[in-house]
Chains A and B, each alone.
Chain A
Amino acid sequence: MVYLITLNYLKLRAGYATSANFGSPYNTRNVLNISTNVFVDRVGTVINSNTISDRLANPNLQPELLKEFEVGVEGKFINNRLNLDITYYNRVSKDQILDRDLDPSTGFSVTSINAGSVRNSGIELALGYTVIRNKDWNWQLDGNFTRNRNLVFDLPTDIKQIGIAGFSNEGLFVIEGQPLGVIQGTSTQKDPKTGQRIVNSNGDYISSTGISIIGDPNPDYKMTGISTLSWKQFSFRFQVDFTKGGDMLAYTPGTLIGRGLTKDTEFDRYLPLILPGVKEDGTPNDIQISASQAYFNDYSGFFGMADLITYDATVVRLREASLSYNLPATLLAKTPFGSASFTISGQNLWYNAPYFPKHVNFDPEVNSLGVSNGRGYETLAGPTSRRIGASIRITF
């Protein structure tokens, strides 16, 4: 009954929305490209050409349809000190318009298609609590939790898979019955009996000839915690983010450790190594190889075997911390200023991705492919930056 008394606010909501997306124009008719000056022969004749575009027209392209269903509860309790917001959503994109890469032996390399459906469903939870609230002190804690699950289904039956980022043999793919953007690449061959990796007679792992699913870039869940503490005119705020799970095929760590550039390989390199695994006849591997061979040929990922450079991208991060001071209104009363404040803040101050090689200090938040669906595939992207700044804000 105590809780009922302290219930200040309660809202239940439910929503349903639908909308359509249209593909870019002119994808339904084949076109001819005209190129001039493609070659000049020995007597100076300029050669021009006509080429049939490699994009195969799809005259049956339809708009895609989005449907979303959402229910939620929002409430405030204990004198508005505790607030809570829970949402469940289920979003289905039907007939998604995607570029499907074609086997060039069809005569074309890409076409726009209506590519089945993607379902995203998940929970978003927000919780806030005001720990202290009095004349001088205010301390507010906020937390967010997000969990999303997605699934690809109803992919047209003539499609093996669709690559959405990366290359034809490595990157992120849309595959029937799998989460969106699963990571595929070559992997080390494994002994079917023991599941151990197989080494060849040179002592190196053997790469698979084909590609298979080696990871799912979608995180298990994400959490954010924010603390805002203020005392008189000062306020101190920080935010911590945590992402659990989600895989990443990353070339930066392999490139560094493959060349022995980080402390991860700072052991006695004159000692021979034996890669864990079995030989081709199934007996335990006992072939000694040099550290350089082990790291350059195998752990670098340079020669296929992308599973060796696919990591769990769990990361915890101090996203932001800031300290501000607001000038009291009384001090400003005789000035033309309405308010004035000073802030020192830092962004991306610290992170730890525990499953990557320790000394590479790799940040899984980098993205090689810009703003895209390319999360989980990294090919030597520049590192993320730590920013520290100070600001003065004055209003009139």
Chain B
Amino acid sequence: MKLNKIIIGLLAVAIMGSCSKIADKFDSNLNNPNTPDPSAANSDLYLNVVQLSFAGLFNTASSFGMEVTRQIVMYGPTYQNAYTPTSFDGVWDNGYTSVLKHANALIPIADAQKKYVVVGMTKIMKAYTMMTLVDMFGDIPYTEANLGSENTNPGVESGKDVYAKAIALLDEAIADLAKTPSSYPGVTDLFYGAANATGAKKWVTLAKTLKLRAYVTTRLVDASAKTKIDALLTENDLIDTPAEDFEFKYSTKQTNPNSRHPRYNGNYSSTGSSGDYMGTYFMWTMVREKAAFSNNAANDKSDPRTRYYFYRQRIGYGDVNEASSSCSVAPPPAHYTPGMPFCLITSGFWGRDHGDNTGIPPDGSFRTTVGIYPCGGDFDANQGASVGLNRGGQGAGIQPIWQTAFTEFVKAEANLTLTTAGNARTSLQNAVTASFAKVIGFPATIGVTPNPTYVPSSARQTQYITDLLTAYDAATTTDEKMTIIGKEYYIALWGNGVDAYNLYRRTGKPSNMQLPIVSAPGAFTSSMYYPSVYVNRNQNAAQKSGVDVHVFWDTNPPGFNK
């Protein structure tokens, strides 16, 4: 009997053993034969997807920022109705399932291969992504996010904590970039092409500049902001030359694959009809507010960047009628203060007012569209012709994620508001000078020679800066000075709605923004609604009570922004 039991037991063990062997044998059949396993990934190819989706994330986040800050149109009509939660599904999806997921997968692989520059680059892009998501939404999932099946309902974490972790990540990146790597990324670095130690240094400079940016952004809630900023200023390893500017560069390739600037794609179409409406206020502030624009270059006193920023399809208002521009036959809204821009501005600048949700008229071939900077469109030399395929810079635009001018602007702001080292006036002067050089020098970098008649003379540029500094010197209070710095920073930020939106919430500048055209637009969008994909698919998610919820670094009172 005993023997029988042992035999049965042994048999049972043998059968079970063989079963598990069978399972092992068939287990590989569960792998899809058409696609490899993630363990086969190549770190360079991961780095490519992180960079491309990072550029995409910036572009999307920037578009929302440009809309609420009147650089391009927000249809509205009220702030609550301007966007639905689904508007943000794309940026959320791109952030988590593309940038963060692949960054998380890439960092350990690159680390094991001692590709420390790749590790540093990835951590910097990851940190920027985290901060951008906080800037848009406030509290977001981070620690519980990107865990796959381990947590299908990630909970949120305070924006403050995520920011702290992002800054810690920037410090880690600086440490990683200080190590000697097994190889440099070279052409696989789409931003700086870091092929050697000198190239890799630019990423260190970027990381430190992004820390400066973060400290200025959070200065209202950080008592130690002055100390931290002063430390960075003393070290002085910040983006202060055009070669260090952090920009994603698009090419002129139209198809297979379309590698042009997304905003060029949407505006320079074969149908001769542009897609985006420029914000009436933004154009007005450049061509009317300080000095008037003129089609005659000799008399043109407007902002020297105007013809680079915008391309007018018509240089006059001959095509304006009640069908193509219904606001042209309407009086300005009763709640507009005298002098506030409304509808038509001058010389064919044809935009759309803030919060105008009326039907789109047949004005696609007439309205003003993006110019050569930064989208790679056409330089406005009074052509007065409708847009078309392959015009101007053919889409070889840039995403101006961080530039020398921005560093100088935040230094000016920090000096003015926190009395950090430096001189706000000098920084303002440097900033505007750097912005002019960047914008006016831009066509040459993409092989375009603008009509010299309309290229602003250096005398005109100097005059602009002289007038600006005269106004600055005449300003007596910190707020008045900040109004001037904020307006100039806002203008220089064309194409970077992320920082324009942060600037407006943090400082309330520009202070004379055009009001939405409805008299009761509701509270300003101090943060975006949570995306529908998050609220409707995550048990731990709850939609915010309204768009007036402030992000953690924005301690300004309700009604601060209009």
Using a CB–CB distance below 8 Å, which chain A residues touch chain B? 25-26, 28-34, 37-45, 47-54, 56, 58, 101-109, 111, 158-161, 163, 167-169, 186, 200-202, 206-207, 209-211, 296-297, 303-304
Residues from chain A with Cβ under 8 Å of B147 in the complex: 106-107
Cα(A169)–Cα(B92), bound, Å: 15
Is B533 an interface residue when CB atoms closer than 8 A count as contact? yes
Residues from chain B with Cβ under 8 Å of A102 in the complex: 152, 537
**What is the minimal beta-carbon distance from A257 to any residue of chain B, in angstroms?**
15
A169 touches B85 (CB 8 A): yes
A32 touches B41 (CB 8 A): yes
16 A-B pairs besides A50-B46, A52-B102, A202-B77 with CB distance below 8 A are A29-B31, A29-B32, A30-B37, A31-B37, A39-B259, A41-B187, A41-B190, A42-B249, A104-B93, A107-B146, A161-B536, A161-B537, A168-B533, A201-B519, A207-B80, A209-B543
**What is the minimal beta-carbon distance from B130 to any residue of chain A, in angstroms?**
12
B539 touches A160 (CB 8 A): yes
The closest CB in chain A to the CB of B35 belongs to A31
A58 touches B251 (CB 8 A): no
A207 touches B81 (CB 8 A): yes
B96 touches A104 (CB 8 A): yes
Chain B window 497-538, contacts with chain A (Cβ cutoff 8 Å), 1 for yes, 0 for no: 000000000000000000000111010000001001111111
Cα(A45)–Cα(B195), bound, Å: 15
B536 touches A104 (CB 8 A): no
The closest CB in chain B to the CB of A106 belongs to B152
Q: Top 7 nearest A-B pairs by Cβ distance?
A: A169-B532, A50-B45, A26-B32, A103-B538, A31-B35, A201-B520, A107-B146
The closest CB in chain A to the CB of B92 belongs to A104
Is B48 an interface residue when CB atoms closer than 8 A count as contact? yes
B86 touches A167 (CB 8 A): yes
**What is the minimal beta-carbon distance from A102 to any residue of chain B, in angstroms?**
6
Is B42 an interface residue when CB atoms closer than 8 A count as contact? yes
B97 touches A30 (CB 8 A): no
* Count, chain B residues at interface, CB 8 A: 77
Is B149 an interface residue when CB atoms closer than 8 A count as contact? yes
Residues from chain A with Cβ under 8 Å of B96 in the complex: 104-107
Cα(A209)–Cα(B533), bound, Å: 14
Question: When A104-B97, A160-B537 are in contact, do A33 and B105 touch as well, CB less than 8 Å?
Answer: no
Is B440 an interface residue when CB atoms closer than 8 A count as contact? no
Cα(A28)–Cα(B31), bound, Å: 8
The closest CB in chain A to the CB of B447 belongs to A42
A105 touches B101 (CB 8 A): no
A209 touches B546 (CB 8 A): yes
Cα(A206)–Cα(B538), bound, Å: 25
The closest CB in chain B to the CB of A47 belongs to B48
A30 touches B45 (CB 8 A): no
Cα(A47)–Cα(B48), bound, Å: 7
A168 touches B537 (CB 8 A): yes
Residues from chain A with Cβ under 8 Å of B141 in the complex: 105
Chain B 275-318 interface residues, beta-carbon cutoff 8 Å to A:
none
A105 touches B49 (CB 8 A): no
Chain B window 28-66, contacts with chain A (Cβ cutoff 8 Å), 1 for yes, 0 for no: 001110011110111001101100100000000000000
Which one of B30, B45, B259 contacts A29 once the chains associate, using CB atoms below 8 Å? B30
Residues from chain A with Cβ under 8 Å of B519 in the complex: 201-202
Cα(A111)–Cα(B52), bound, Å: 25
**What is the minimal beta-carbon distance from A390 to any residue of chain B, in angstroms?**
45
Residues from chain A with Cβ under 8 Å of B190 in the complex: 39, 41, 47
B86 touches A105 (CB 8 A): no
11 interchain pairs, CB-CB under 8 A: A29-B37, A31-B36, A32-B40, A37-B256, A39-B48, A41-B190, A52-B41, A56-B149, A107-B100, A186-B84, A207-B81
Cα(A104)–Cα(B95), bound, Å: 8
Q: How many residue-residue contacts, CB under 8 A, span A and B?
A: 195
Chain B 78-107 interface residues, beta-carbon cutoff 8 Å to A:
78, 80-81, 84-86, 89, 92-93, 95-98, 100-102, 104-105
B52 touches A158 (CB 8 A): no
B148 touches A56 (CB 8 A): yes
Which one of B52, B104, B539 contacts A49 once the chains associate, using CB atoms below 8 Å? B52
Is B470 an interface residue when CB atoms closer than 8 A count as contact? no
B154 touches A106 (CB 8 A): yes
Cα(A280)–Cα(B64), bound, Å: 29
Cα(A31)–Cα(B544), bound, Å: 35
A202 touches B146 (CB 8 A): no
Is B417 an interface residue when CB atoms closer than 8 A count as contact? no
**What is the minimal beta-carbon distance from A78 to any residue of chain B, in angstroms?**
57
**What is the minimal beta-carbon distance from A34 to any residue of chain B, in angstroms?**
7
Residues from chain B with Cβ under 8 Å of A32 in the complex: 35-38, 40-41
Is B145 an interface residue when CB atoms closer than 8 A count as contact? yes
Cα(A331)–Cα(B101), bound, Å: 80
**What is the minimal beta-carbon distance from A169 to any residue of chain B, in angstroms?**
4
Residues from chain B with Cβ under 8 Å of A53 in the complex: 35
Is B234 an interface residue when CB atoms closer than 8 A count as contact? no
B145 touches A107 (CB 8 A): yes
B86 touches A169 (CB 8 A): yes
B537 touches A167 (CB 8 A): no
B148 touches A106 (CB 8 A): yes
Is B207 an interface residue when CB atoms closer than 8 A count as contact? no
A49 touches B534 (CB 8 A): no
Cα(A48)–Cα(B52), bound, Å: 10
Cα(A47)–Cα(B248), bound, Å: 14
B52 touches A47 (CB 8 A): yes
Cα(A38)–Cα(B251), bound, Å: 13
A106 touches B151 (CB 8 A): yes
B145 touches A106 (CB 8 A): yes
Residues from chain A with Cβ under 8 Å of B252 in the complex: 42
Which one of B35, B81, B532, B536 contacts A303 once the chains associate, using CB atoms below 8 Å? B81
**What is the minimal beta-carbon distance from A312 to any residue of chain B, in angstroms?**
25
Cα(A297)–Cα(B536), bound, Å: 25
B93 touches A210 (CB 8 A): no
Residues from chain B with Cβ under 8 Å of A49 in the complex: 45-46, 48-49, 52
Is B232 an interface residue when CB atoms closer than 8 A count as contact? no
A38 touches B257 (CB 8 A): yes
**What is the minimal beta-carbon distance from B434 to any residue of chain A, in angstroms?**
22
Residues from chain B with Cβ under 8 Å of A201 in the complex: 519-520
The closest CB in chain A to the CB of B97 belongs to A104
Residues from chain A with Cβ under 8 Å of B149 in the complex: 56, 58, 111
Question: When A38-B257, A105-B92, A210-B535 are in contact, do A50 and B49 touch as well, CB less than 8 Å?
Answer: yes
A40 touches B92 (CB 8 A): no
B52 touches A45 (CB 8 A): no
Residues from chain A with Cβ under 8 Å of B543 in the complex: 209-210
**What is the minimal beta-carbon distance from B555 to any residue of chain A, in angstroms?**
24
Residues from chain A with Cβ under 8 Å of B214 in the complex: none
- Which of A52, A101, A103, A211 has the most chain B CB atoms inside 10 A of its CB? A103
